[in-house]
Amino acid sequence: MLINSPQTVVADALRGMAAAHPELDVDVERRIVVRRDARDGGRVGVVSGGGSGHEPLHAGFVGHGMLSAACPGEVFTSPVPDQMVRAAAAVDSGQGVLFVVKNYTGDVLNFEMAAELAEEDGLRIERVLVDDDVAVTDSLFTAGRRGTGATLFVEKIAGAAAEEGAPLERVAALARQVDECSRSFGVALSACTTPAKGSPTFDLPDGELELGIGIHGEPGRERRPMMSAREIAEVAVGAVLEELARIGPADGPVLALVNGMGATPLLELYGFHAEVARVLAERGVPVARALVGNYVTSLDMAGCSVTLCRADEELLRLWDAPVRTAALRWGL
């Protein structure tokens, strides 16, 4: 691995982020990344965080039109409440703060505690839980659906609404709408390797893949012999559309994210997106916007996930709004 030591990998990454992005205020010791102008303009603050190893999530999404601050934990480990409270205080301009929380037990408990502590300090806090994964309803890390690719949609749209000056209740309502209208399905072609362990976190024999994998390597629905991109797209998109149908009849287009897990090159991801687009077209689902790349990763895991979000005109407008972060930028 391209690291100094497992013990310093997160701190070293944060030092590198600080050197590369002077527009961010990176507190390496306290593990907080804040946009320098977070308090300007009286905006609602949008704060998220989670274990490291999923980059660019979350710190890579701090900036204009997206997150006000992010709290990175150790690899695959939730940040602690103190980080979240400090982040909320750093971005609060008197309009309140939204916590965006992926549905993993450690994150849920720690953000809940942080919200209580921040409210005791006089801050107004709203929390939105992201639980978009359709592969399993419970896992080693969660009660209910896991939070995965839809986190990007939630953070972008909530951040855009906050940038426009929407009040806290409206920003939170939009974030919940995005979560409710989004579903994801992931596939692993190889296991990931954590710096501390130095070897694959689970056994996936050559020539096999895991359907419905989680972003920490949690088991999915089933293991199968290797499949073609066409076959994987049929399974993944079919599973997502089946769950979206339970929300209600299809109405309008979708935002589509084909997300790499960290070790799959864009050559393969774009080829896979071609199959995703084909399946959606065959099923009469128009794609309003598409995003392809590594955004919600799992260290060096090979594989991908598909996230679809039913998007009305308001969500599309907020998706298109300018954004400038380390990992996502357009319109500026």
Rounded to whole angstroms, the Cα distance separating 91 from 40 reads 9
Find, among 301, 280, 282, 303, the residue nearest to 290 by Cα: 280
Neighbours of 146 (CB within 10 A): 27
Catalytic hit among 54, 58, 64, 273: 54
Find, among 142, 149, 302, 144, the residue nearest to 218 by Cα: 142
> Virtual CA dihedral for 128, 133, 134, 139, nearest 10 degrees?
-100
CA angle 211, 327, 97 (to 5 degrees): 95
Give catalytic status of residue 216 as yes or no.
yes
CA of 271: how far to CAs of 127, 229, 276, 277, 278, in Å?
A: 37, 8, 9, 10, 11
Quote the crossing angle between the two packed helices 105-120 and 81-91, to the nearest 10°.
50
Which run of H or of E encompasses 18?
helix 9-20
Rounded to whole angstroms, the Cα distance separating 148 from 233 reads 18
Six token digits for residue 228: 């073609």
Rounded to whole angstroms, the Cα distance separating 314 from 318 reads 6
Tokens 């296991």, residue located:
191
Catalytic hit among 21, 58, 64, 216: 216
User: Which amino acid is residue 181, in one-letter code?
Assistant: C
DSSP letter (8 states) at residue 128 = E
Phi and psi, residue 199, nearest 5°: -150, 165
Task: Report whether 227 contacts 236 (CB < 8 A).
Answer: no
Find, among 255, 331, 254, the residue nearest to 291 by Cα: 255
Give catalytic status of residue 64 as yes or no.
no
Six token digits for residue 307: 């996230």
CA angle 302, 306, 309 (to 5 degrees): 155
State the catalytic residues: 54, 216
